[in-house]
């Protein structure tokens, strides 16, 4: 349950490749939150408080985890492995757009909606990601033996991971978390290493190493974020 979940999952799978008893459980959330210094006397010990800037949903492939989430008031549900992988690619699309661009421009998520100069960049980032995501998910369903089911899944992949669909999804995330300060902007402001290599870097690496696709815009996002000096 983190940004860059696909990159982290792949890394864990490579590390435990020979251990058949290792189970990786993936999850995702659209909830937006950030920390800020607090003047509340109840928060003096920790020195900060958590601002829930965009209430979202949490999904997982494990029913026990979802039950635990619901007990503490988190809304969401359980997904199949196919559904989760689709959701993680959509979440990665949002992260690959929102996180680096908010960090580069120093704005909250929703403010990206009014920055016209980012429109072309957003489209190019998503075009690259969409091509990789579709190839990955079409490979994922090859094990499906039912021809009709596989055809249905393929239609879903090509529709829901298309550039237009991903644009709509990313725009909705920007709107729903408009007041949120992205984790990457928080990291840049705090002079911490960002997760950009697990987001845009993952897309660029996968594209080049596995499919011989040059994802120039996602590589550029990595370079621009890492060149920031705040």
Residues designated catalytic? 91
Give the three-class secondary structure for 51: strand
Q: Phi, psi (5° rounding) for residue 116?
A: -65, -30
Please name the residue that has the structure tokens 């864990």.
12
Q: Are the C-beta atoms of 161 and 136 separated by less than 8 Å? A: no
Measured CA distances, 18 to 15, 21, 22, 194 (Å):
8, 9, 9, 30
The alpha-helical segments, DSSP class H, found in 141-228 are 147-160, 163-176, 183-189, 200-211, 216-226
| Beta carbons within 10 angstroms of residue 36's beta carbon | 10
Tell me whether strands 58-60 and 76-78 are parallel, antiparallel or unpaired: parallel
Give me the torsion for CA of 221, 225, 226, 227, rounded to 10°. 100
Tokens read off for 171: 């725009």
Please name the residue that has the structure tokens 């003047």.
39
Q: Are the C-beta atoms of 157 and 139 separated by less than 8 Å? A: no
């Amino acid at each position: 349950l983190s940004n860059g979940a696909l990159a982290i999952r792949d890394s864990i799978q490579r590390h435990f490749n020979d251990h058949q008893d290792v189970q990786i459980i993936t999850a995702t959330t659209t909830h937006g939150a950030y920390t800020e210094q607090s003047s509340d006397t109840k928060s003096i010990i920790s020195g900060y408080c958590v601002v829930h800037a965009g209430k979202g949903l949490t999904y997982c492939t494990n029913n026990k985890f979802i039950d635990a989430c619901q007990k503490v008031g988190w809304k969401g549900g359980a997904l199949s492995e196919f559904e989760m992988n689709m959701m993680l690619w959509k979440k990665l699309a949002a992260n690959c757009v929102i996180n680096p661009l908010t960090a580069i421009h120093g704005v909250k998520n929703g403010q990206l909606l009014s920055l016209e100069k980012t429109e072309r960049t957003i489209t190019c980032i998503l075009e690259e990601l969409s091509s990789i995501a579709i190839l990955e998910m079409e490979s994922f369903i090859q094990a499906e033996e039912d021809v009709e089911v596989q055809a249905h899944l393929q239609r879903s992949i090509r529709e829901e991971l298309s550039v237009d669909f991903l644009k709509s999804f990313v725009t909705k995330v920007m709107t729903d978390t408009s007041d949120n300060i992205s984790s990457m902007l928080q990291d840049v402001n705090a002079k911490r290493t960002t997760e950009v290599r697990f987001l845009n870097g993952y897309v660029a690496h996968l594209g080049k190493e596995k499919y011989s696709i040059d994802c120039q815009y996602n590589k550029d996002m990595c370079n621009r974020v890492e060149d920031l000096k705040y």
